[in-house]
Structure formats: structure tokens, C-alpha cells
Chain A
Amino acid sequence: MIELSPDEWVAVRLSLRIALVATIVALPFGLAVAWLLARKHFYGKALLDGLIHLPLVLPPVVTGYLLLISFGRRGPIGAFLADYFGLVFSFRWTGAALACGVMGFPLLVRPLRLAIEAIDRKLEDAAATLGADRLWVFLSVTLPLAFPGLIAGMVLCFAKALGEFGATITFVSNIPGETQTISAAIYTFTQTPGGDAAAGRLVLVAILISLAALIAAEWLARRAGMRFHGE
């Protein structure tokens, strides 16, 4: 077994919390956007699609900087949220979760959108004739049929959030116990003389978590697939 020091544990727990919160908070937005992109034609659709995918192609430092100037203490959105909702992002773990959520968002939306596009809309028509209104059609037909895509999107978003480095460190810095995730901790240890052992332990932990997430996702998707095609 790997023996982690208390400081390393803090980084691991913080990483898991940030990645989970980022994925869960991004999910409803991701569902709404994926559904819009899959089903609706509207003015500015290409722009929305582009904006969502931007964090995938921009240097993460740029995304982090943009978050800093808009969601930071003096940024327009950051000041508003802090004044009216007491929600502060800068140099807090919440800011790390925001950065991770933004970076993971395109990876969440893409499989979801493809899954929704692949659903036979005739099934949704059938549900409507049976008395389901739009919301129930979505909840009882669209969402369960898109479940494998949902799982894939959440795992990709979670994995991205877990490994995110550039945007997070630019936006909320590298504060142990508050914003220092596994990635940031590994980076710090590699810059510190004699930190190789600690870095190695955290690298192992990162591999284990990622592997567990992948296996869990595969299992869930397989189970969902089996439900559709057999008993």
C-alpha cells in the first residue's frame, strides 16, 4: 500500500471534491446545452457551439486568465456573485471547481449531444401520444436512452477536472489545503528538492482514481446497453 502524508491526503481529498462538484454542477447545464444543440435550430447556435468548445482549444492559461478577470473579486461577474449571493471564487476551492467545470464542459456536452441526436424521435412522439408532456418525455424517454452518453460525458468531465492544471493555477493559484489539487501538488513536489517520493505517490493515486473511474463508467454503460438489448 501507498502511505500518504497528511498533506498529500488533503490534496487527494480536495481534488476529488473539486472534480465531483465540478461534474455535478456542470451536469444540468450540460444537459440543457446538449439538448438545445441536438434538437433546436436557433440564431447563434454555431456561436454557442464554438464558445462551449473554446476551452478545449484555447491554452488553459488563457481560460484561467479570462476566469480571473471575469469571476475574480473585481471582475464584473465575480463582484456581483460575491455581493448578492456571498459566492466567492478567487483563491478558493470553489474557484478551482469553476475552472475545472469550464474546462470539462465541452467533454461533458459532446457525448451527451451525440447520444440525444441518436435517439429515434419517433419514440418521443409515441410517448406524447400516450399522455407524456414535454418534460416527462425528456425524463422518461430521452434521458434514459441517452444514459450511456451521459455516463461517458460525466466520466470525461470528471477526468478532465481531476487532471486540470493550467486554468486552475492561473485562476486560483496553488494554495495547499484550499486550491492545491493532486496535479498542482505533484508540480510543487517536483520543484522541491527531495520531493520525488511524494510526487511518485501522488502520481500512483492519480492513476488509481482515473482507472477506477474508467472501469466504473464502462460497467455502467455496459449495464445500460444490456438493458436495451436483452433481459
Chain B
Amino acid sequence: MLSLDVEKRLGDFFISVRFESAGGVTALFGASGAGKTTLVNMIAGLITPDRGRITLDGAALFESSAGINVPVHRRGIGYVFQEGRLFPHLTVAGNLDYGRRMRALPRDPVETGRIVHLLDIGHLVDRRPGKLSGGERQRVAVGRALLMRPRLLLLDEPLASLDETRKREILPYFEKLRDEARVPMVYVSHNAGELARLATSVVWLDGGRVAGVGGVELLAAAREKETV
């Protein structure tokens, strides 16, 4: 359970957001500039809010009144970035194993095998990221984030850098992930079609504020409003 109530001023832009998510895939939906990435960066700990609190499963990650701000590396939150951000100097296997090594977790070949199979990246493990296609790169990035055994997985426009064919190729993996990985996810996108297939609940952001919270039916309403 993720609960969040934060404020942050960035120049002229003011973000004031409050929502709770029970699990499954929470879609953070909104036009570019709505504050979606800023918000997930606050959850990850890469950006510090001015005020408010963020709790995950009852424990505070950030609480301005109590002076709590858990550093990024101790939050245990997986993050899949728009551009993958794989480490170019490590092989795919090295990238996948990085989080486990840094968190000093024991090896778990069964879980590793399951995720590698789920994402269909077994044939890539000896390659370097420079030799992967965009779609392969994003699948490895998802695998890397999952193999750190996160309490929560953040995905920031993970398909935005891919063309339509690649997107169609990857979406089924994300559906499998939702159904099999048992990790709650926050999925950021401005693409309503993509979210309609994946989301269990939707938080609609507009101009740094929550414009609506609900199910996937909200996506249609938001789309209508945007086209008007």
C-alpha cells in the first residue's frame, strides 16, 4: 500500500498531490508537464518534496514534519526509466544481478530463472547493452528492477522511446508481469490505450494536481476532455 501526500515547488510549477494505491497497477496518467515524472522521482527518493509524507506498507519513506527522508538506495523501490539506463560497461547478466549484489541479497536461481523466462531475455545475458534493440533493452531494464526484489516497481513511460511495433511486442510482457510478478506497480504514461490494457486503478494528473481517481473508465473521460 502506497500513500502519498506531497507538495513541491519547481520554479513556476507547483505540485500538490495526494493519493493512495492499494496494489496492482496504479496508472499515473496525464499530459506531458502534468508532473508525473516528478512524482515518481519523489517516490523513488531522487527528488525531495518540500512538504508532506510518503509511506509504503505503513513505513514512512518521507515525512517532512518528522524529518524522515530515507535515502534512495535504502528504499527498496525498483525503477524502470524511459531510456532504460542500463550500465554500458556490464553485460546483461551483470545488469540483472546488480541490484541483488548491491543489496547483499542471497542468490535465487529459481526466481532469476522465472523472471528471465517471463521477459524472454535468456538469450541476451552475455551481450552488452550497446548491442540490444530498444525493446530488448527495456525488457532487461524491467528484469533488472524486478531482480532487486523491490517492494514497489515504478515504471516511467517505459514504452515511450519505442515505435508502435515494438510497443505491441512488449505490452504482453507487462500484462504477464501484472498477473504473475506480485509486485505493486506505479505505471506512468500519457498513452490512454496502453494504460487501458494494464491499469487496475488510475490517478489522473493535470497541472500538478490530481484531477481524478478511479478505474480505467477514467481514461476515456480524460481522453474526451482532452480532445474537447
Contact = CB atoms under 8 A, between A and B. Distances in A.
A129 B44 contact: yes
Contacts of A130: 73, 78, 98-99, 102-103, 144-145, 148
B89 A228 contact: yes
A85 B3 CA distance: 57
Interface residues of A, number: 23
B131 interface: yes
Interface in A124-178: 125-133, 136, 140-141, 144-145, 147
A27 to B, nearest CB: 20
- Chain B interface extent, by class: 20 to 34
B128 A122 contact: no
A144 B89 contact: yes
Nearest to B83: A122
Contacts of A131: 73-74, 76, 99, 102-103, 148
A141 B130 CA distance: 16
A135 to B, nearest CB: 10
Contacts of A87: none
Contact of A230 (B103, B128, B145): B128
Contacts of B83: 122
B79 interface: yes
Top 5 A-B residue pairs of the complex, sorted by shortest distance between their CB atoms? A131-B102, A130-B99, A131-B103, A128-B72, A126-B85
Interface of A: 120, 122-123, 125-133, 136, 140-141, 144-145, 147, 227-231
Interface of B: 44-46, 71-79, 81, 83, 85, 87-89, 98-99, 102-103, 126-128, 130-131, 144-145, 148
25 contacts: A120-B85, A122-B85, A125-B46, A126-B81, A126-B85, A126-B87, A129-B72, A129-B77, A129-B79, A130-B98, A130-B103, A131-B74, A132-B98, A133-B71, A136-B102, A140-B102, A144-B89, A145-B89, A147-B89, A227-B89, A227-B128, A228-B88, A228-B89, A228-B128, A231-B128
